Amino acid sequence: MEKPKFSKLFLLGFGFFGISIVWPLYNAYVPIFLKDFSLSSTSIGFVMTIDNIFAIFMLPLIGVLSDQTRTRFGRRMPYILIGAPLAGLFFALIPITREMHLLWFMMLNIIFMNFFMAFFRSPVIALMPDITPSKYRSQANGIINFMGGLGALIAYFVGKPLYDKNYALPFWLGALVMVLALILVVIFIKEDEKYRIKSSEKVKLDNVFKKSFSELMTNLKEVFASKEKSLLMMLLSILFWFIGYNALETFFTSYAKFRVGISESTGALILGFFSLTFMLFSIPAGFIGYKIGRKKAMTIGLITVVSITLLTMFAVWTINEAKTLTYVMFVLFALGGIGWGMVNVNSLPTVVDMTVQEKVGGYTGLYYFFSMSANIIAPPLAGLFIDKVGYDSLIIFSAIFFLIAIVTLQYVKKGDVK
């Protein structure tokens, strides 16, 4: 496999770009729509975990299933061709269900939208290691994360004025952009001929499912039963650092308002700086992982993130002037985004480089199984500590899980740049 062209990787990045346009809009506005039906915050919180529940069960299975799939379009493309248009359709219908004021119809749209988003996510992400040699995967993942970050920023900054004009516009434009972005991937990214079959050949679907379930069980056995624990330690590291990250992401605006004494919008802007520097540093983070090794880069990134969380807590305790404290937090979280880039960009290539090319989709699914599990564990667990101890516990909670991830990461002996 030859070194991929960066133009090709940017085109592949449109897949992640399209996905990343949709989720910020969904997370920002669907809870507000659900409030129209007088639902409790607990009920809304449950609805907002549907995507993670689908992800936990579907991403590993669909990843393995796409490994086993052979069609004239390739092994990943059929899932994109089916999943992206249907996910876009149901996403676009969500504001219409609000207008109709039919809760059952809105819930049906939300469930189908989340199902079809999960249907094509693993295959899209698995295309990166499919077309990229092992030693270049950190740089490739950096480019893809850059494109994802760009999509999220566009959703935040363009979504607001559109929403103010008509609350349906961000959904309709977001759906259109996602589908167009995935069409670009299908047109310009060509899968290897060995994953295609001629139209005269027949593939039995039940055999594909049987092989997929068998392969999934084998992958899970490799995680827990293997004497060499690198894969398990890597996946646990991913679980731990995403618990720390998701706790901060979920409750930081509340922490900013109720503990620090600044507005929730300012807290959101501080998180925006974190996202901005993460996006800008995604590509350099991939090159750093290539030069010094992925494990070392991820360790440096985690140490950086732990440092900014502890410095944030120290600043809140010692700086009494709100304006000064706000500026300090902007700087700290901007540095944190750089550290997070070092961690996030180099993690998926580490996981997929622990297996053979034929099982990349399955291992991509394992990566998302553990990262999405964190999305379900972190909010209620961190919320429990906040309820019992207070908002200061949020920073300590996140820092502890980042520190645990540093420890488990040191036991990873495989998956680095070859």
Q: Which two tokens stand for residue 143?
A: 């480019």
Q: Which two tokens stand for residue 79?
A: 């899932």
Q: Is 198 left (phi over 0), alpha (psi -120 to 50) or beta?
A: beta
Give the chain's end-to-end CA distance (angstroms, integer). Answer: 14
> Half-sphere exposure of 276 toward its Cβ, with a 13 Å CA cutoff?
14
Mean pLDDT, all residues of the chain? 86
Q: Which two tokens stand for residue 238?
A: 């991913």
Nearest to 128 by CA among 116, 117, 139, 119: 139
Assign 341 a pLDDT band (cuts: 50, 70, 90): very high
Contact 385/394 with Cβ under 8 angstroms?
yes
Distance CA 57, CA 176 (A): 27
CA Rg value for the chain = 21
Residues in the chain: 418
The pLDDT of residue 80: 93
DSSP 8-state assignment for residue 48: T
For the chain, the 3-state helix, strand and coil shares in percent, each to the nearest 5, are 85, 0, 15
Handedness of CA 352, 358, 359, 365 (dihedral sign): positive
Would the pLDDT of 203 be above 60?
Answer: no
Would the pLDDT of 1 be above 60?
Answer: no
The pLDDT of residue 178: 96
Q: Average of pLDDT values for 269-289?
A: 88
The pLDDT of residue 198: 57
Our CA angle for 71, 76, 82, nearest 5°, is: 85
Q: Average of pLDDT values for 292-299?
A: 94
More confident residue, 226 or 76: 76
Distance CA 112, CA 85 (A): 12
The pLDDT of residue 267: 79
Distance CA 402, CA 241 (A): 5
User: What percentage of the chain carries pLDDT values higher than 70?
Assistant: 93
Contact 392/260 with Cβ under 8 angstroms?
no
Would the pLDDT of 116 be above 80?
Answer: yes
Tens-digit pLDDT profile for residues 22-36? 988 887 788 878 888
More confident residue, 395 or 205: 395
Q: Average of pLDDT values for 130-151?
A: 86
Assign 149 a pLDDT band (cuts: 50, 70, 90): confident
More confident residue, 139 or 182: 182
Angle between helical axes of 169-188 and 77-100 (0-180°, round to 10): 170
Range with the largest mean pLDDT of 74-88, 223-237, 368-382: 74-88
Distance CA 206, CA 214 (A): 12
The pLDDT of residue 185: 93
The pLDDT of residue 216: 65
Would the pLDDT of 414 be above 80?
Answer: yes
**Residue 378, amino acid:** A
The torsion angle over the Cα atoms of residues 147, 151, 157 and 162, rounded to 10 degrees, is: 150
Per-residue DSSP letters for 80-140? Answer: HHHHHHHHHHHHHHHHHHHHHT-HHHHHHHHHHHHHHHHHHHHHHHHHHHHHS-GGGHHHH
More confident residue, 271 or 239: 239
Q: What is the pTM of this model?
A: 0.77
Tens-digit pLDDT profile for residues 214-252? 666 777 777 777 777 888 999 999 999 999 998 888 788
Nearest to 75 by CA among 210, 196, 213: 196
Distance CA 373, CA 396 (A): 21
The pLDDT of residue 40: 75
Assign 141 a pLDDT band (cuts: 50, 70, 90): confident
